[in-house]
Structure formats: structure tokens, C-alpha cells
Amino acid sequence: MDITPILDDLNKKQREAVTAPPNALLILAGAGSGKTRVLTHRIAWLIDVEGLSPHNLLAVTFTNKAATEMKNRVENLLNTSVDRLWIGTFHGLAHRLLRRHWKEAKLTQNFQIIDSRDQIQLIKKVIKNLKLDESKWLAKNVQYFINKQKDEGLRPQDLDDEGQLDRLTQINIYGEYQEICNYSNLVDFAELLLKAYELLQNNSNVLQQYQKQFKYLLVDEFQDTNAIQYKWLKLLAGKKGIPFVVGDDDQSIYRWRGARVEHILQFQNDFPTTSVIKLEQNYRSTGTILEAANAIIANNESRMGKSLWTDDSQGELIKIYAAFNERDEANFIINRLIDWNSMGNPRSEVAILYRSNAQSRVLEETLVNKNIPYRVFGGLRFFERAEIKDALAYLRLAVNQNDDSAFERIVNKPTRGIGARTLEILRQYAKNHNCSMWEAIKGIADKKSHARSNASMLGFITLIERINREITDLSLHNKVDYVISQSGLITLFQKEKNQTGEARIENLKELVSAARSFTYNLNDEISQTDAFLSQAALEAGEGQAEEWEDCVQLMTMHAAKGLEFQLVFISGMEDGLVPHQRSINDSSGVEEERRLCYVAITRAKQNLFITYAEQRRLHGVDIFSPPSRFISEIPDNLIEPIKSTALTYRSKSLSLPSKNQKENYTSGSQRSIKLGQLVRHTKFGDGIILAYEGEGAHARVHVNFENVGTKWLVLSYANLDLL
């Protein structure tokens, strides 16, 4: 038997993993260590050498694309078909089981799978049937609650209301929703996994059938499994099944989606005979990049521990640029990109990473100004994002009531009782009277009616007229800020209570920054507001570069997982961004942020730039933040610091200087407040001003106090001493 094709291109540790005796195995595969190769070669080894039928193997991946590629690789290695191999995503394999055993699963043969949008519509129907306030009980929030419970393997009857009325209502909605799904023969994505688990748990014959069939279970990206996925795997494995799981606890970055890095840590307890093999040789990055990544991740306590290394060269030092502000940062990055491209290197081998989607705006603007093609990987350009279009539509309608497209976009967003039927009446009225939708709504609303929709229409008219009146004499950024605050969009997204809602709010606040920094030519024949709206429309309309074009990739650090580039820029490396503000006071949250930083660094193959800004206008607010604590974890011998010539250096430690002067704040001395200003509060102690916003009596400051953390204070009441 010639096994050369299976073993020939593997290193020692990879061969050890591929050829290990058929016992439980945990493969800790570091970034760029060839985990997919090991997984595919292991399948080929089990079939060709151990004599297992493909029918006896179950292989789980996280994408259909990965499953297809893996199957093709195995067939190429063995030079034969492996169609009987069970390989696919968790959802795909669960669906296959349910189609086979629909009776045992208490389904009908023709059950239908509903997508996220269909699920939302059904939840809305339940909320309406229960006569709940639709403005309070947002379908997206309820969807998140339902799917989260299913991911934990919990039915409505398993849940405790914990004495909370809101939680009781959520449980009731979940129960009603599931009853409709059961009656209508509908299965959502989360239900696929839970139903498949219950199928095996409640039907011993079915469970025994598959435990006997699947002698070997192989799982990719094991660190990303959630509770129900792991329960399902353990149930299938039983006492005789042999799991072969591949993962990296240092790359577990999806806690917010239910992934549990703890599964890697507890695997050996659940399967006591487990052997652990570490894949530490990296085939992607230079020695310098790997040493930096190792040094950072070593600060995490909740990890099994490994250290990446390479036979490749040490490579260039990591460049760390201390920018004056976000524009200085963007210019630096784009200029380095231009230099790279001028030497004959393709733009497609360059990625610019950031923590928050809102950070892309200034980078996009700089790229557009320099005529450099780009794509936002896995997302939309700033001005293409729905919440930005919503806010701009409010502004457009406020300054031009005849803008029908703006009218239709926001007339019922947030929901205010002007539904599809009312909209159709308005369209017909506008058509019959040859007028705008705004004139139509005024014409219909002026007619005395007790209909609920009439009150809603009058409320909308009042809102737009008030916005129009109040923004007349405001500066552009204050106009945008006022429109956003009055539109109800912030409140709408706050109700979502998840990271998507937070990201939308961040983007809306960043729109204020865009307006503040907008350059207006006084010679233009249109107003500053119209010029800004036109520019936004042009940027949204240009579209991204085509996939075939040589363009730079912009993406979040999360989206970068699994990818690699010759040149990587990691921007916005400041405390508050990396680690994110919401995780900064949570040890487990900081550890996940450190893992995210580790993932970002290990995307780089040859060249890595890390940038931070001493002052950043983000979300409409000027912020002073220290460099990310993760930067200080990189050994000095691995970095080459670069400072902006415009930068006044401040120490990372932010230690308080000697108190040689005090000034008490009054409402008339706001100009003396500066970012980075040291202050003292009678209750909270010493702190430093991170940001300020607003004007006059309502001016606010964001202060990081040494002993109590960050606080927002109204200046006119705070009685701060300036140090």
C-alpha cells in the first residue's frame, strides 16, 4: 500500500495527528499551521489505511464551501469517490437527519425551513396576536432571545421567568411562536439543531443506529461550537465513538454568537482518553510577526498554551505609528499602501483592519480622494449602510419635502402606524392629484378622521416640520446631530440590545463626525447641507470595486478570521477600541479582545503596521485614549516606532503631573477644557477627560477616574477642578 500521497507533504506534528491510533484526539492548531490539511489527510488515512468506510465517518465544518473543498481534497488524495461520507455544516447535517427521520422528530415529511426574515415576520405576528406594544417588543430582540435559548437547548417550559415580567413576556412569545411553527410545520435555523438533538435524545433506536454508523467524528473550528452543537456531538459520540476535533482556543472570538472556548478546555474531561497534539509550525507569517502574536496571547490565562514558530525568515520589524488623529492615521496608511503598490505589489494583497465598522468612514473617504479602488469585505461601504441612509433620508425630507424616495424610506421608520395599506392610499392620492407624497399626507391628514393612521400621519408631519424649523440656523454637524436625535433611530437601535444595534448607533454618531469634517466650497451654487447630501449620495452610488479589480480590502478584525495578506494594517489600536469599551472592565471580555488582536496580527504574512491615534473624532465625539494595552505587550525588539511630526507625545502610563495650578470649571470657561485634561471630582477623585460634547449649559464630559472608571458628567453641575 502506497501511502506517500497522504503523508508526503506533512511535517512531523501533522503526520503524528494524521496517523495517530483511532482514539479521541484534540488537535490544537495554531494560525497558519495547516489544520485543514491535517483534517482532510486524516479522513484519507482512516479510509485508506484504517479501512473505514466513508459511510462510517462524520465530518463537521462551519461553511458549505469548506465542506465541498474538503471532500474534493479527500477524493484527490484517494483518487476515488467518497460520496458516502457524511460531511457538512452542523445545520446541513441536522437537516439531513430530520429529513430521514421526520416521523420520529414529530414533523411532517414536507416540513419547511424558514430563514431569518421569515422568522421575524412570524414573531411580529405573535406579538400582534398577544396585543403587545410593538414599539417596545421589537421582533429582532425577541428573535435573538428565542434563538439564544434554542442554542442552549432550552424550550419555553425549561425557562424560569426569574420574577421578571419582561422575561415572562419573552417566554410567552417564545411559546406562542413555537406552537405556530409546530402547527404550520415550520423549522427555523436554530430549531434544526435543537430538533436534531431531541431526535437522538428521545429516540434510542435512532441514536443507536447513528452511534453504530459513525465510528469516527471529525470537527473543524471546534472552538466556535455553541452549547447545542457540543451536546449533539457528545450524544452522537456516545461511549464508543471517537471524536477528532481541530481548533484553536487562541482564536475563539465569537462569544457574542454563543461560541464557547470552554469546550476545548473541557473536552479532555468529557473524553478522558484524549490525546492532545499541538500544531505550532506556521506556514504564513514571519518570525517577528509570530513572536509578537505569541507575546500578546501569552497574557491570557484561560488557554491551553502553544507557541507558533516558523522556518521562514525573521522578516521586518512591526511598524507602530502614533498618529495625531484619525485623518493623520488614514493618510499614513494610504500613503504606505501607495508606496507598496508603486513597487509592483498588488493592492489585493493588502488588508486594512479595524475593530468597529464606524472606523471605515475616514479610511474610505481617504481612499476615494486618492482614487484607490477598495472593497469592504463582508459588509457595506459607510454611506451604503441602512441606518446611514435612514438618517440622511430624514435630513433630505426636512430640507426638501418633495423628496418622495426619502419620504417612503422613513415615513414608518421607526414604526409609527403608517403601514403598507396607508402608504398605498398616499401613493394613489399623489397620483390622482399630481403631487408629492408629502402633499398627499398633508391632504389626507387634514381631513378630519378618527383613524389611528390619521393620528400617526399628523405626528409624522409635526416631526418633519419641527426638524425643518429647528435646524435652519444650525451648523451642518449640529443639523445632522439634531436630525438623528429627533428621528427616533437611536432609541430604535438601543432596543435591539445586541452588537448589531450598537454598531448601528456607532455608525449614526460617526455620521455627525462626517458632517463636522465635511469640506464646503463657498463658491458652490448650493447650500452646505445640499452639498453634503450630494456627496453622500455620490459616495454611496459609486459602489465598491469589482471583485476582479486589484483593490485593497477593508474589514473588521472579526471578518478577517481565516484570511491572509502580504501586508496588513491594524488601525485604531487604542484602549476603548481594542479592547472595546464594553469589555474593558471584564477580564473574560479583555481575554476575548486579546484573542481578536491575536487573530488580526496573524493575518499578516510579511509586513504588519499597527496604528493608533492620540486624538480621535469617533461617533461625533473627540476622544483621547491611550494606546491599546496590547501594544505594550509586544517586546520592544520586535517593533519600529513611528511618530507623526504633528504629534505631541504623551506617556502611556497617563500618570498625573504635579498639581501646580487649579481652576474650577464654570459654564463660561468651557474653552479651558481639553482632551487629556487632568481633573479632580470631590466624590470620584482624580481623572482624565476622554471626550466632551454638547454646548452651553448642557455640555458634557467623559472622564476616566482612577478609582471608579469612566463617568459622563454635565459640566455645569460637576464642579470639577482642573489640575
Query: Between β-strands 604-613 and 318-323, what pairing exists: parallel, antiparallel or unpaired?
Result: parallel
| Packing angle of the helix pair 227-237, 139-151 (nearest 10 deg) | 30
170 part of the active site? no
Cα(347)–Cα(247) distance, integer angstroms: 31
36 part of the active site? yes
Catalytic residue among 48, 176, 191, 220: 220
262 part of the active site? no
Catalytic residue among 223, 251, 310, 602: 251
> CB neighbours of 23 closer than 8 A, spacing ≥ 6?
242, 273, 274, 275
DSSP SS3 for 625: coil
Q: Which amino acid is at 578?
A: V
Q: Is the separation of the CB atoms in 310 and 290 below 8 Å?
A: yes
CA torsion sign, 682 to 683 to 688 to 690? negative
Catalytic residue among 36, 170, 178, 366: 36
Catalytic residue among 48, 191, 198, 221: 221
Taking the CB of residue 160, how many other CB atoms lie within 10 A of it? 9
Cα(265)–Cα(357) distance, integer angstroms: 32
Q: Which of 203, 207, 262 is nearest to 230 (CA)?
A: 262
251 part of the active site? yes
> CB neighbours of 96 closer than 8 A, spacing ≥ 6?
86, 88
Q: Which amino acid is at 264?
A: I
DSSP 166-186: HHHHHHHHHHHHHHHHHHHTE
E-strand ranges in 241-334 read 242-247, 275-279, 318-323
Catalytic residue among 260, 347, 594, 603: 603
220 part of the active site? yes
Cα(183)–Cα(191) distance, integer angstroms: 14
Cα(471)–Cα(480) distance, integer angstroms: 9
Q: Is the separation of the CB atoms in 353 and 556 below 8 Å?
A: yes
DSSP 652-681: TT---------EE--GGGGGG--TT-EEEE
462 part of the active site? no
Catalytic residues: 35-36, 220-221, 251, 603
